[in-house]
């Protein structure tokens, strides 16, 4: 079981951000707790279960044992980790995702 952190490349509000992911939700939340992240920071989205962390917190996560992954050099590994994170969505997130795709499939009648 592992916790992963990708490259801090996403620029937002003047800081660089990374994604904190894990093999299981339990492990992800436990690690986030160790970093001092509130549960409300959890991203239960169709892009995959994760926490957003800034570059400074990324360094702390690495010091605590998170595995660094890079979209530039570990593409297949990152894809596999993201696929796993997508499988960890809650039922609510899955229902929202299904509802959005179902609505998109319905064409308005004339």
- Amino acid 110: pLDDT: 38
List C-alpha distances in Å: 109 to 56, 60, 79, 106.
52, 54, 39, 9
**Ranges under pLDDT 70 in the chain:** 1, 11, 90-110
Structure tokens that stand for 71 in this block: 């979209």
Model pLDDT for residues 71-98, shown as the tens digit of each residue:
778 778 877 878 888 888 765 444 444 3
Domain boundaries, the chain: 3-105
- Amino acid 31: pLDDT: 97
Structure tokens that stand for 86 in this block: 């997508």
- Amino acid 35: pLDDT: 96
């Amino acid at each position: 079981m592992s916790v992963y952190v990708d490259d801090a490349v996403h620029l937002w509000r003047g800081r660089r951000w990374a994604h904190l992911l894990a093999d299981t939700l339990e492990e992800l939340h436990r690690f986030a707790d160790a970093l001092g992240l509130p549960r409300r920071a959890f991203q239960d989205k169709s892009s995959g279960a994760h926490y957003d962390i800034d570059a400074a917190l990324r360094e702390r996560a690495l010091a605590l044992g998170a595995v660094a992954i890079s979209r530039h050099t570990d593409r297949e590994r990152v894809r596999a980790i993201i696929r796993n994170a997508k499988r960890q969505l809650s039922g609510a997130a899955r229902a929202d995702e299904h509802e959005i795709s179902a609505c998109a499939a319905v064409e308005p009648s004339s």
